[in-house]
Copies of this chain bind each other. A is one copy, B any other.
Amino acid sequence: MKTWLDLPADDLFGVDNLPYGVFRAPGQEPRVGVRIGDRVLDASRAAEGTPFAQAWAYPSLNAFLAADPETWRAARAWLITAFADESRRAEIEPHLLDLAEVELILPIEVGDYVDFYASEAHATNVGSIFRPDADALTPNWKHLPIGYHGRSGTVVVSGTEIARPVGQRKAPSDPAPVFGPSVRLDIEAELGFVVGGRTELGSRVGVAAAEDHLFGVALFNDWSARDIQAWEYVPLGPFLGKSFASSISPWVTPLEALRYARVPLPAQEPEPLDYLRGEGLFGLDLRLEVRINDTVVSRPPYAEMYWSPAQMLAHLTVNGASIRPGDLFASGTISGGRPGERGSLLELAWNGTEPIELGGGETRSFLADGDTVTITGWAPGPDGARIGLGEVSGTILPAR
Contacts and interface: CB of A to CB of B under 8 A. Distances in A.
B151 A321 contact: yes
Name, among A143, A154, A273, the residue most crowded by chain B CB atoms within 10 Å (CB to CB): A154
A319 B156 contact: no
Interface stretch (A165-173, A344-352, A354-362, A363-371): A165-173
Given A238-B237, A400-B203, A244 B320 contact: yes
A143 B177 contact: yes
A167 B319 contact: yes
Given A146-B232, A148-B236, A237-B235, A318 B140 contact: no
Contact of A152 (B152, B202, B204, B238): B152
Interface string A212-245: 0000000000000100100111111111110111
A37 interface: no
Give chain A's interface secondary structure class.
loop
A167 B232 contact: no
A160 B320 CA distance: 14
Nearest to A161: B202
Given A154-B201, A270-B176, A148 B146 contact: no
Given A147-B239, A234-B140, A153 B245 contact: no
Contacts of A204: 166
Nearest to A143: B177
Interface in A170-187: 170, 176-177, 179
B320 A166 contact: yes
A138 interface: yes
Contact of A315 (B111, B131, B240, B273): B240
Contact of A319 (B112, B140, B165): B165
A273 B165 contact: no
A236 B234 contact: no
Contacts of A273: 168, 177, 179
Given A112-B151, A156-B201, A237-B235, A243 B146 contact: no
A398 to B, nearest CB: 11
Name, among A150, A239, A321, A400, the residue most crowded by chain B CB atoms within 10 Å (CB to CB): A239
A320 B236 contact: no
A142 to B, nearest CB: 10
A154 B318 contact: no
The 6 lowest CB-CB distance pairs between A and B, nearest first, are: A237-B237, A163-B202, A165-B319, A149-B149, A148-B236, A244-B319
15 contacts: A140-B177, A140-B231, A140-B234, A143-B177, A146-B232, A148-B148, A153-B323, A153-B327, A154-B201, A163-B202, A165-B319, A202-B244, A203-B400, A236-B237, A240-B316
Interface of A: 111-112, 114, 117, 127, 130-131, 138-140, 143-144, 146-154, 156, 160, 163, 165-168, 170, 176-177, 179, 201-204, 225, 228, 231-241, 243-245, 270, 273-275, 315-316, 318-324, 327, 397, 400
